[in-house]
Amino acid sequence: MGRYFSKIIKNGTLVLENGCERADLGIRGEKIAGILAPGNELEAEEMVDASGLTIFPGGIDTHTHFFEPGANYREDWLCGTRAAAAGGYTLVMEMPNSSPPVIDERTFGVKYGLAEGRSLVDFALWGGAIAGNQAELEKLSALGCIAFKGFTLEAGPEFLWLNHQQQVDAMREVRRLGKVLGFHAEDDAIIRELKARFQSQPWDLRLHDEARPYYGELAAIQNAITFAEHTGCAIHICHLSIPEGAECIKRAKARGVDVTVESCAHYFLLNYEEQFASGTYGLIQPPLRSRERMERMWPYLMDGTIDYLGTDHAPYTKEDKEPEDGDGWQVMGGAPSIDIAYPLMVTECLKRGMAPHRLAALCAGNGARRFGLYPEKGVIQVGADADLALMDLDYPWNYTRKNSFSKTKCTKFPYEGRALSCRVVSTFLRGREIYCDGEILAKSGYGKFVRK
Ligand SMILES: [Zn+2]
């Protein structure tokens, strides 16, 4: 009798949907084919020893920026997806606001053409919902865009933001298409006014929060919820930074609004007080908030209000972050984290008493559910893709971006030097080990396009 499993990962602890289990994992081809009692005598073509390791589902990053096409001197599909694999991610959902942005069939083709053949991990593509491209959304949906993203405030000349009525119109269309509409939610009028008011003062990280205040984000979230309630569209709030927004979303969910919310590691770990000296390297949008607000985000992560974690990975160079004229008001918001966010959140969440399977839901399972990829993606169970992040939960080390696979390795961002107690030892995508111990083991292009 031939061997049934192509691979068995032995002696590890599996993070399953309802809890952890000491068990062996049988893989057949690209799929998980068995969860096996420890001590079984089964054999496979390849045996992997995971003694001492905890096996999480491969991470799903709901919010990735690779800047390709566009500013691919900062990051690109080749390097960015290697950094993702090293960080335990097996699927990235890449954002449409590149240059050109993904707003119609042609620009979708440009992005797809770059990702296909270069991506090491599986990838999904967000489509852009901008002012004036409503007629293109149906086509983009048919091409396989996983969801759509719009901005509720000025986002540059290429990615035209949606005013209130345009948000309603986009929601009607996205609802008809059966997809999810995500928002970068900050109020345009408030931020436009405050930026003009503050710009004569020298920029700093605290002023950045004041110029893009919590109530600007909250107002945009409340509006989006009102419009979602009216249209019945499924919406997603990107990178939530404020507890007030979480409370508002919690109430909306309770009365049946189809809203989910993403947040990011940095809104739980960083704040403008402790990171003040990072200056423009800590400049992201929405801003890092106060330490007190950061602390108040945690209960909403613990109680399940926050559905999933994205990275908002967006590396910039020293030249981007330190312009010659020194004017911080003109600096682009963004920071890298795809190489570190997953083990960072494992470190911090376990310290705060979160069960590993709840964390796995935040980093993989819940995103897969929301975007229609469950149960093929995001969970360790028989029949699912064998997408895995093998972690050592007892491994103290300090992060440096010097060793990142990212295209740019600027070491001035806030996570530099940060202490972790956990590391990604190896990453499997569809049954194949693509990363182990600092080395990339699969060819770029192994990642495949994923659609609902
Ligand atoms: Zn983003």
Which CATH number is 425's domain given?
2.30.40.10
Q: What's the 26 CA to ligand 1 centre distance in angstroms?
A: 37
Task: Report the pLDDT value the prediction gives residue 427, as an integer from 0 to 100.
Answer: 99
Mean pLDDT of 139-157: 98
376 found inside a domain: no
Q: Which pLDDT tens digit goes with each residue over 386-443? A: 999 999 999 999 999 999 999 999 999 999 999 999 999 999 999 999 999 999 999 9
Q: Are residues 113 and 193 in the same domain?
A: yes
Task: Report the pLDDT value the prediction gives residue 353, as an integer from 0 to 100.
Answer: 97
405 found inside a domain: no
451 found inside a domain: no
- CATH number for the domain harbouring residue 154: 3.20.20.140
280 found inside a domain: yes
Residue 425, burial from CB neighbour count under 10 angstroms (0-12, 13-18, 19+): buried
Q: Are residues 344 and 220 in the same domain?
A: yes
Q: Are residues 113 and 250 in the same domain?
A: yes
Q: Are residues 40 and 68 in the same domain?
A: no
Q: Are residues 41 and 83 in the same domain?
A: no
**Helices 188-198 & 214-231, crossing angle to 10 degrees?**
160
Q: What's the 62 CA to ligand 1 centre distance in angstroms?
A: 10
Q: What's the 181 CA to ligand 1 centre distance in angstroms?
A: 14
Q: Which pLDDT tens digit goes with each residue over 172-196? A: 999 999 999 999 999 999 999 999 9
Q: What's the 65 CA to ligand 1 centre distance in angstroms?
A: 6
175 found inside a domain: yes
Q: Are residues 51 and 62 in the same domain?
A: no
**Of 399, 293, 416, 383, which is closest to residue 343 (Cα–Cα)?**
399
Residue 63: pLDDT band by 50, 70, 90 thresholds? very high
Residue 452: pLDDT band by 50, 70, 90 thresholds? confident
Q: Are residues 144 and 220 in the same domain?
A: yes
Mean pLDDT of 272-287: 98
Q: What's the 163 CA to ligand 1 centre distance in angstroms?
A: 19
Q: What's the 176 CA to ligand 1 centre distance in angstroms?
A: 25
Q: Are residues 20 and 137 in the same domain?
A: no
Q: What's the 333 CA to ligand 1 centre distance in angstroms?
A: 9
Task: Report the pLDDT value the prediction gives residue 2, as an integer from 0 to 100.
Answer: 60
* Domain limits for position 257: 58-370
Q: Name the H helices within 134-184.
A: 137-143, 164-177
Task: Report the pLDDT value the prediction gives residue 388, as an integer from 0 to 100.
Answer: 99
262 found inside a domain: yes
H or E element at residue 398: strand 397-398
Q: What's the 359 CA to ligand 1 centre distance in angstroms?
A: 22
Task: Report the pLDDT value the prediction gives residue 57, as an integer from 0 to 100.
Answer: 98
**Is this model's pTM higher than 0.85 or not?**
yes
Q: What's the 351 CA to ligand 1 centre distance in angstroms?
A: 27
Task: Report the pLDDT value the prediction gives residue 1, as an integer from 0 to 100.
Answer: 44
Q: Amino acid letter at 275? A: Q
Q: Are residues 155 and 40 in the same domain?
A: no
Q: What's the 417 CA to ligand 1 centre distance in angstroms?
A: 24
Q: What's the 207 CA to ligand 1 centre distance in angstroms?
A: 21
Q: What's the 286 CA to ligand 1 centre distance in angstroms?
A: 9
Q: What's the 183 CA to ligand 1 centre distance in angstroms?
A: 10
Residue 417, burial from CB neighbour count under 10 angstroms (0-12, 13-18, 19+): exposed
Q: What's the 295 CA to ligand 1 centre distance in angstroms?
A: 22
Q: Are residues 203 and 327 in the same domain?
A: yes
Task: Report the pLDDT value the prediction gives residue 75, as an integer from 0 to 100.
Answer: 98
Q: What's the 95 CA to ligand 1 centre distance in angstroms?
A: 7
Q: What's the 284 CA to ligand 1 centre distance in angstroms?
A: 9
Q: What's the 428 CA to ligand 1 centre distance in angstroms?
A: 26
**Domains identified in the chain, total number:** 2
Q: What's the 337 CA to ligand 1 centre distance in angstroms?
A: 12
Q: Are residues 46 and 161 in the same domain?
A: no
Q: What's the 386 CA to ligand 1 centre distance in angstroms?
A: 28
183 found inside a domain: yes
